[in-house]
Structure 1
């Protein structure tokens, strides 16, 4: 039986059965991505290590719910996090850094340097590798592309060209040209704005001083103007602002749209005939001088809550086994995610293996897409400035609402940028930065 109960439901089940929660349990709580795979991995660990790891998924705003649990000192040992959440939880004093593991030096050597930098804060490696991906690459429905008499020679090279291209097609009467990444989740519309500013060559805030970098003549303003033009043209569905990620994934998988900003791992989904009407015909805009999207990644974090000796040993063992190498010295979990879901890993031995190359080619529409994806990945920026700061999660939550308001209420670009600057300054003052 696949265990996909929420944390609360699993706790109530334990209480109802009369079973008292064991003192030796390690508690692992994840978000809702392929929980059946996670449960199978956990079951394998429990069997081969004679261990007692309790896994359940959490429904809702995952970072906020995890923060509430940590504040309440709930039983929580292993969890997921994106980099800005990891920074916030570290600053709150809730995490055990990877530096405390016996295999720390080996782990460092196996991680790509740019990822090691992205996940290191205050000299501490905050977590182990769950996945990496390019979020914000522009997926292309090649069936619709061909129907329109277009081919790869017509691919836009940057965001400016892309919006001109989309509007030109829309003005010619072409329907459903673009499904943007403007959905209503913490990694939706706000992340789309962050990466477009990065791709165009600037930061929202100065990485060193944390002061806002949002000029009326800068690329942030240019991005907002492009968004407003796209929105007012009617080229995108208004309901996208209320979607979850599954909405834009299923929307594009329907074969209706020509382009859509997506996470790279969804290319595998779109090329799977079980889920997509255009399987084998989904590619993406390659790197042609401008990056597309940002480096989306997640880590396995370990908390530093009080545990007895057995719990502590088991938690460290599971963290290392699940997030690094298993009992056979293999990258078991990371390689499985790569093979089955095209989730990239931070570990060089995983990404550079023949097994990974074979798996990736099976997910892609053409042989050339393999090298194109590798090249795109190599050029994808990490938003260290706006993510390596204590208030990153608070600003992201505010930004998501503010950008939706900007579009829905047709608000001026300058006013929106002024509000962003004021919010950043307010947060810097709040945290003494």
Structure 2
């Protein structure tokens, strides 16, 4: 009976996976350059309306003489303040009172705003996002209010949380000239020094319709949705297309040693950070599989070897930060007992050397393939997930149909490619070795 249930579950997963691979969508552009993506799925009375802007933390505010970090993230907050037709403080009330939810998030590469509503409120969602694009109120009251909100977010989410600074510590050592070296949340001194005119100019520079993509997904009629999109977004004026000209990083050809002190920790950590290719490159997909092999779950190689078997670490793993212009691959470990950071890094390196010298087993490789099949299904198992995938694939990957074909990339990866990529990128002379140490708090 147990075997029968397992076979049945497998067949259901295969059927769901095959279905999930075929997401139908339609695209068109308004005259002002706004790209629109529609996905119709009438199985549940829910609709997602999202707008992704081609602006992120790498795009600084201010001026060339006085550049400001953190502007993209700041706008993620500021553009909920209100509009010409939505009073200050009313945005969230309107959404919740109409049975919806909303959120926004910012990476170093893009900013995404979205609402999820019962499908009979599609028009409301489109109107609200058009208001954000067409009539935002950017004034000193809103700037001052959100400045305090961002400061509190930084204190609660980063400054006062253990190990939450380690990405910043790695990125500022891995990147010297590219703005990926900056914190996505920004430096508070930069935000304090910014003027209202700088914020207004940032909106003009980056928030035009021709620098954005609108996705509407769920229980819609596409013909009616097109009319509503045209109605609410056609009057937004196109603007000059922003340009970027980031400096190129010199390759890392010898180990960079660094130290960071965190007053919120008692146990030190060792971290090794490597530069990796942009997320559109095939090698980036392969590194995702490397990461899953080494550290996804308690049966992963690093956890089993260093935590379970040798009992040298409290925790160990990898973090792969995928970015458009080049990512960060980070190996880390927290030592157990008398284990030194040097010893722990040596043990982690031994697992990397094994991957460089030998192909991973067929059994482990099949587990990886199954894991990525499952991830693929789960990522597109909701309307909200499909909407996010569609607009991300269009905006960042220049291939919206990745929602249907990305799994084929993972299926085509070979064990030899995994070995080759580990040899190519994960070498000691190409990394930052960061000792992340406790710091005694001297404020008291």
**TM-score normalized with structure 1 length:** 0.24
Structure richer in strand, relative to its length: 2
Q: Between Structure 1 and Structure 2, whose CA radius of gyration is higher? A: 2
- Larger relative contact order (C-alpha < 8 A, sep ≥ 6)? 1
Q: TM-score, normalised by structure 2?
A: 0.24
